[in-house]
Structure 1
Amino acid sequence: MIRAHNLTLSLRDGQHRRPVLQGISIHIGRGEWVALTGANGCGKTSLIRTFNGLNTPSGGSLSVAGLDLRLPQNRAAVKQHVQLVFQNPEAQTVGSTPFEDIAFGLENRGLDRSLMIARIHDILQQVGLAHKAEADVASLSGGERQRLAVGCCLALEAGMIIFDEATSMLDPAGRRDILGLARELWKSGTTVLWVTQRMEELAESPRIAVMGDGQLLYDGDPRTLFYASELPDTLGWTPSPVVRIGRLLQRQGWPLHLLPLTEPQLEAML
């Protein structure tokens, strides 16, 4: 789905151009789940906006769904393949009801009305909003608005959805809700790039990419990152309670592949 090699990006800052991404090389296959993390200002948002065709690479190569992003004519097409769910659930709705919001993208594609109505109802059912199809969008909770944003991505038949810290403004129940929906989509074949700074969400991801100062610092599995790398301590991360217990076990000689990452894993060990 994503192939980037030595990708660079610089943005105008006054009269000068400021380097934002420096030599990023990453491959994300179709159907993968990758968690992307890093401190504020490290370049995460610039990278995903480049993947989505909103930023134009300054150098290197980037292909998305087989389309070369160095060619201007491909950038609009990429937006259909790669969709974004933003951090703020109130900043991504255009319709007054969930039905109208999903209809907006389908109408722009010129879909037959009878087919469009059937598809809208299917999508609302899929994201758990069928009972609120005609509700005022302003009456939806933050989690419901994020579900609606996911529905709009599905309406455009996106092969990849980027969740840009989509749970950061939600309560714990809302976070679990959106994370669960994203996992359902992933299991059905959607490629997911999950941007987060939450340690528990990173620990549950099969693959983690860590950014710092516009560079890719790590790309691999979570167990190696948390137990066999100095990077979390170097970056000043506060380990989760599960990882803190795992490090105690590690010092007692437990092998790497048995160290826990999640609460269910720790519970099973106990």
Structure 2
Amino acid sequence: MIKAHNITFSYRDGLRRLPVLQGISIHIRRGEWVALTGANGCGKSSLVRLLNGLNRPSAGSLHVAGLDLRSQENRTAVKQHVQLVFQNPEAQTIGSTPYEDVAFGLENRGLCRDEMDVQIRRVLQQTGLAHKADEDTATLSGGERQRLAVACCLALQAEMIIFDEATSMLDPAGRSHILALARELWQQGTTILWVTQRPEELAESPRVAVMEQGSVRFDGDPRTLFYSSGLPEQLGWEPPPVIRIGQLLLSRGWPLSGLPLSEQDLEAVL
């Protein structure tokens, strides 16, 4: 799905260029779930904007869904394959109702009205918003607005959805609903890039990429990251309770392969 090799990116500040990304190489296969993390300012959002065609890499090669994103034409075309759910749910709403909001993208694709209606009602049902189809979007909660953003992505038949810290402004219930919806889509074959700074979400991801100062410091499985890489301690992360218990087990000689990453793992261990 994504093949990035040695890509760099810089912003122009007057006559100077300010480096943001430095020599990033990452491959993501179709159907994978990859969590991307790093401190504020490490370059996560800049990388996401490259993957979605919003920016062009300064150097290196970047192919997404088979498209070379050094081309302006392909940076437009890639949006048919990759969709982005932003951090702020209010910044993504265009229509006055959920039905109109989903319809906006489909109208730009030139779908006939009957086909649009079927698509809209299908994705609103899938995201649990069918009963809100004709309500004012201003009355939706933050979690419902994020589900509406996902519905818009699904209506456009995105092969990959990037969640750019999409739960950071939600309450615990809203976060849980969006994460559960993303996992359901992943299980159905959608490629997911889950951008987060929550260690518990990283621990339950099959693969984690950690960025620092514009580079990828780690790319691998969460058990290695939390229990043997030493990186969380170097970066000053506060480990979730499950990992703290796992670290105690590790100090008592528990094998790495059996250390818990989720509450379900911990229950099995106990």
Q: Assess same fold via TM > 0.5.
A: yes
* Local SS of the residue matching 1:61: strand
The residue identity in structure 2 corresponding to 1:2 is I
Does 2:169 match 1:172?
Answer: no
TM-superposed deviation, 1:268: 1.6
The match for 1:61 is 61
* Local SS of the residue matching 1:99: helix
Structure 2: which 5+ runs fail to align?
none
The match for 2:23 is 23
The match for 1:183 is 183
TM-superposed deviation, 1:143: 0.5
Counterpart CA distance in 1 for 2:83 and 2:119 is: 18
Q: Deviations over 1:107-160 (max 9, x none)?
A: 011101111111111111011000000000000000000000000111111100
* Local SS of the residue matching 1:197: coil
How many residues of Structure 1 are paired with residues of Structure 2 in the alignment? 270
The residue identity in structure 1 corresponding to 2:253 is G
TM-superposed deviation, 1:189: 0.4
The match for 2:74 is 74
Between 1:12-21 and 1:33-42, the stretch displaced more is 12-21
Counterpart CA distance in 2 for 1:269 and 1:227 is: 16
The match for 2:84 is 84
The match for 1:249 is 249
Between 1:169-178 and 1:71-80, the stretch displaced more is 71-80
Q: Which runs of 4+ in 1 moved over 4 A?
A: none
TM-superposed deviation, 1:13: 2.1
Counterpart CA distance in 1 for 2:240 and 2:232 is: 11
Counterpart CA distance in 2 for 1:13 and 1:212 is: 22
Counterpart CA distance in 2 for 1:114 and 1:25 is: 44
Superposed CA RMSD: 0.6
The match for 2:146 is 146
* Local SS of the residue matching 2:54: coil
* Local SS of the residue matching 1:225: helix
Counterpart CA distance in 2 for 1:83 and 1:71 is: 18
Counterpart CA distance in 2 for 1:263 and 1:15 is: 52
Counterpart CA distance in 1 for 2:186 and 2:165 is: 17
Q: Percent identity?
A: 74
Counterpart CA distance in 2 for 1:220 and 1:254 is: 21
Matches within 5 A, 1:254-269: 254-269=254-269
TM-superposed deviation, 1:207: 0.1
TM-superposed deviation, 1:184: 0.4
* Local SS of the residue matching 1:39: coil
Q: Deviations over 1:24-48 (max 9, x none)?
A: 0000000000000000000000000
Counterpart CA distance in 2 for 1:13 and 1:214 is: 17
Counterpart CA distance in 1 for 2:72 and 2:101 is: 28
The residue identity in structure 2 corresponding to 1:188 is Q
The residue identity in structure 2 corresponding to 1:177 is H
Does 2:135 match 1:135?
Answer: yes
Structure 1: which 5+ runs fail to align?
none
